[in-house]
Structure 1
Amino acid sequence: MTGWARSRRRAKPQQAQVAVILSTALLAIVLVVVAGLTSGYRINLTPSEPLGLWRIVPLSRPAAVNDMVFICPPATADMLEARARGYLRSGSCPGGVAPLIKTVIAIKGQHVEIGARVSVDGRDVSSSALAQRDGRGRPLAPFPSDIVPPGHVFLHSPFPGSYDSRYFGPLPASGILGLAQEVLTYEP
């Protein structure tokens, strides 16, 4: 037997060991991700809030102003259009989108005025200037000013390019998954 044939026979068991190690590592990663998702952990990859690991904390009361929440937007035509434009990521919410992380800035009965900026009950909301166009130059239409209806919340993110209630209006509070709690995050 040549030296080449002997080295090929030794390589097969080594390749098998590498394949077993890689398969085991991949299975471990999948199990960690599944366990994290079922335990309420999510990874935020959008610039609306700090990047990193977040936790959904159950909310046993109605949402209040200044609560930062995870919320599933309803599968409406507007949200499907937002998904098609790339404003919403893929995920487990209705319509196949990921939950949003936003801060509640108004609840039922509060008046939201949307002009060049947003105000709630006459008080300006910081970092709420409206964009006329998205990052690709497509026009953005602001949601009309109105009173937040019962069972809904008005959401905001201070990130300038955030797609939030300034553009899609109040969302049903029934879509709230829980409070958003930072676990391990990074702000560039």
Structure 2
Amino acid sequence: MRRRCILLFLTGGAVVLTGLAATAFRGGYRLNLTPSEPLGLWRIEELQRPSAIGDLVFVCVPATAAFRDAWRRGYLRRGLCPSGIAPLIKTVAALPGQHVEIADHVRIDGRSLPASVVRKIDGEGRALSPDPGGLLPPHHLFLHSPFASSYDSRYFGAVPDSGLLGLAQPILTFDR
């Protein structure tokens, strides 16, 4: 009898937690467990205007060989985006028509992007290949994170704005 009560209690708790998680997910709430932005609870806020430089956004990346390789290396997590990867939280650093130069750091339209050192190797000593840069095509965004080890457009290039989910609003976060 006691085991049955415990089992019923645990099952009920699991059902309640699953329901809360599903409700939060439908409400746009997400957990960030990566150091590119502060850890914690975030919310996707619908963007009612075109994206702008400086917007902190949630974005789904496309299902390309480069992103599958990044996932295998552990740079990205599994998630519910169509690519099977979790949405990224990044800052919009450049928009279509802007020119991006990537060398030892990033320059956009000739101006240095702060905190944009381009690394040659990752934390495990594996070679990193920077994106060649160039003129951002229509409907693409160049994304950046000031976190030194962030995997962002320095390495994967501009991404289609069709993957933009909305603005990233911190709810309960913890600085790194």
Q: Deviations over 1:128-167 (max 9, x none)?
A: 0011111111100110120111100000001111000000
Consecutive unaligned residues in structure 1, runs of 5 or more:
1-12
Q: What is the CA RMSD across the aligned residues, in angstroms?
A: 0.8
Instruction: Please give the secondary structure, in 2, of the residue aligned with 1:54.
Output: strand
Tell me what 1:131 maps to: 119
Deviation at 1:62? 1.4
Q: Distance in 1 between matches of 2:52 and 2:66?
A: 25
Tell me the amino acid that sits aligned with residue 50 of structure 1: P
Q: Deviations over 1:50-98 (max 9, x none)?
A: 0000000001221110001000000011111111111110001122100
Tell me the amino acid that sits aligned with residue 157 of structure 1: S
**TM-score w.r.t. length of structure 2:** 0.98
Point out 4+ residue stretches in structure 1 off by more than 3 angstroms. none
Instruction: Please give the secondary structure, in 2, of the residue aligned with 1:185.
Output: strand
Q: Distance in 2 between matches of 1:59 and 1:147?
A: 25
Tell me the amino acid that sits aligned with residue 59 of structure 2: I
Tell me what 1:34 maps to: 22
**TM-score w.r.t. length of structure 1:** 0.92
Q: Distance in 1 between matches of 2:92 and 2:29?
A: 20
Consecutive unaligned residues in structure 2, runs of 5 or more:
none
Q: Distance in 2 between matches of 1:145 and 1:75?
A: 20
Deviation at 1:183? 0.3
Tell me the amino acid that sits aligned with residue 53 of structure 2: V
Structure with higher Rg: it is 1
Tell me the amino acid that sits aligned with residue 127 of structure 2: P
Instruction: Verify: 1:53 aligned to 2:41, yes or no.
Output: yes
1:8-157 aligned at under 5 Å gives the runs 13-157=1-145
Q: Distance in 1 between matches of 2:83 and 2:92?
A: 22
Residues 60, 83 of structure 2: 8 Å contact kept: no
Instruction: Verify: 1:179 aligned to 2:167, yes or no.
Output: yes
Instruction: Please give the secondary structure, in 1, of the residue aligned with 2:148.
Output: coil
Instruction: Please give the secondary structure, in 2, of the residue aligned with 1:96.
Output: coil
- Percentage identity across paired residues of the two chains: 52
Q: Distance in 2 between matches of 1:100 and 1:141?
A: 20
Q: Distance in 2 between matches of 1:17 and 1:84?
A: 43
Structure number with the higher helix fraction is: 1
